[in-house]
Chains A and B, each alone.
Chain A
Amino acid sequence: MTATPQTLVEIRDAIAAGETKSTEICSEYLERIAAVDGSLHAFNNVTREQALERAATIDRSRTEGDPRPLLGVPIAIKDNLCTRGVPTTASSRILKHFVPPYDATVVSRLEAAGAIVLGKTNCDEFGMGSSNENSAFGSVKNPWDLTRSPGGSSGGSAAAVSARLVPGALGSDTGGSIRQPAALCGVVGLKPTYGRVSRYGLLAFASSLDQVGPLTLTVRDAALLLEVIAGPDPRDATTAPQQVPHYTEALDADLQGVRLGVPSALLDSGIDPEVKQAFGAVVEAIQATGATVSEITLPHAQYAIPVYYLLATAEASSNLARYDGVRYTHRAELDPASTTLRAMYDRTRSEGFGAEVKRRIMLGTYALSAGYYDAYYLKAQRVRTLILRDYEQAFNTVDAVIMPTSPVPAFTLGEKINDPLQMYLLDIFTVSANLAGLPAISVPAGFTQERLPVGVQLVGRAFDEVGLLKIANAYERTNGWWKEAPSI
């Protein structure tokens, strides 16, 4: 196995050196998907024919020294990112037959870089969930233990990369949806700074929080994908004008002088003992590389969950209003002679959306409704400001904040799905980066006794993905966690 290229960089280089062909690589991954995904359900749709055709074209036309950074390399795309001519469902019944007439900007950028899309990955419906159990098409399973959740909402992307069904994937992260499944499946997951990556063609959940980002085996691969997808886009006015650094070239640096902060008070309660132990070991390993670690406080971080669930649901209730049976495929079957427009809207939405999506639309509608707007929505926006200020304060003394990604390792499917509030509490360490718009990365940090992966998270200054990637890369080099693959 050691000679087989596994990472995006290795595959890209092997194809460029003529050691293998894109068609060979893509066929191998497609065979593995065919063999394994029946039990994993990481994919909603595998685009086999298209992928092989594209790979063959690349193999035929490739010339020496082609500069495209992902030439011939297979990847997967979360099913809430639009792919022209390929169904894009957001794992919702309401979009089961939706075929976008355009590509998301991140998809066209990946394809322009030479990448080949193998398929669309399963997720929680519209990105709403932390377990993947809210997919209308059935949950993804965790490749380390098929009875457990892969996390969510980008669980299909995380499970696919972890199980080596694809060497890299895109996900989206509104409150931890890239980082938490990355942690639970033992892969790298990066949520970029808000505005770093275009959201054009991402089916919107909460527009002030959503970001697209990579899930990969290594930090270097995450840097490579980010380099390709980042940058201003005239089609998303919130993208930032800042130049995109060469992330892959900035990775290899030692950590002398780098300062990390641990928000100790936040870590006081509710963390699984094995996660806590693994986190302690990470801090020691990072200190050994030359970084200094000190305690910091994020006094309002404990309010991040209520703030997040008020704001994200409010934005969702507005964003999902467009699914009304008129433009996007699904319409309830009603007698056209007697039905009213209103009845058509209501019935379509009620049969098209799953329970969690309805719950969040209801919560958001309530938080925005007359009489409650000030007390819930506006108040949450004000506390969001305090959470942002906490981070600004912390970054006066440290370069990045370090904490676990998830308070628990992968939990059993069915264990938490009937108690929405308990499920929301799992997002305690991830949501604040979205509220503050900051970049954050989860990297593998070892395993529990039961061989379940644990992740560690770094949160950095706005647009300092370089700083985060350097620290993450230096930590990754202290261990070989990413090389361990589940035995599926």
Chain B
Amino acid sequence: MSSRLTKSDVERIASLAHLELSEAEKETFARQLADILTYAETVQAIDTTDAPPTTHVLSRHEAFRTDEVQESLSRDEALANAPDGTPDEGFFKVPKVIE
């Protein structure tokens, strides 16, 4: 496992993360992320044969509740923070997706 990150690695990760990085950011992140990953690689030497992954601690109860209709946010409230919301029509709006 190598933690040398190339510029194209950084570009690939940024694309997965939906981030647009400047050339300067790409360079800085390549260096900083490589440092952090090299450090993080110390975990790879640990014997975890008998250790199953922990996803949630202490969640030993079933969180069931009765399935009842309850009050929720109104449509206007849900749309109130949308940058291009159209409360009258009741939609979130996005740039054109289909030609």
Contacts and interface: CB of A to CB of B under 8 A. Distances in A.
A and B assemble together: yes
Interface in B13-34: 13-14, 16-21, 25, 29, 32-33
B44 A379 contact: yes
Interface in A183-239: 193-195, 208, 234, 237-238
A301 to B, nearest CB: 12
Interface string A56-96: 00000000000000000000000000000000000000000
Contacts of A389: 51
Contacts of B17: 317, 349, 361-362, 365
B73 interface: yes
Contact of B78 (A101, A341, A366, A382): A101
A241, A343, A346 interface centre (most CB from chain B within 10 Å): A346
Interface in A426-454: 435-437
Contacts of B59: 195, 238
Interface string A331-366: 100101001111111110110010100110111011
A331 B82 CA distance: 9
B18 A345 contact: yes
A109 interface: no
Contacts, number: 163
Contacts of A240: 58, 61
Given A326-B82, A341-B95, A362-B17, A381 B42 contact: no
B36 A424 contact: yes
A110 interface: no
Which size class do A's interface residues fall under?
35 or more
Interface in A277-321: 300, 303, 305-307, 309-310, 317, 321
Contacts of A266: none
Which size class do B's interface residues fall under?
35 or more
Contacts of B52: 382, 385
Nearest to B83: A331
Interface of B: 1, 10, 13-14, 16-21, 25, 29, 32-33, 35-37, 39-44, 46, 48, 51-59, 61, 63, 65, 73, 77-78, 80-84, 92, 94-97
Interface string A223-263: 00000000000100110110000000000000000000000
B81 A437 contact: no
A contact patch SS: helix
A234 to B, nearest CB: 6
Contacts of A380: 40, 43
A419 B36 CA distance: 10
Given A325-B83, A340-B95, A362 B42 contact: no
Nearest to A331: B83
B73 A102 contact: yes
A137 interface: no
Nearest to A328: B81
A237 B63 CA distance: 6
B32 A420 contact: yes
Nearest to B93: A326
A267 interface: no
A329 interface: yes
B43 A381 contact: no
Given A101-B80, A326-B83, A382-B48, 11 more contacts: A102-B73, A303-B43, A305-B39, A306-B40, A306-B43, A325-B83, A327-B81, A328-B82, A369-B13, A379-B44, A421-B39
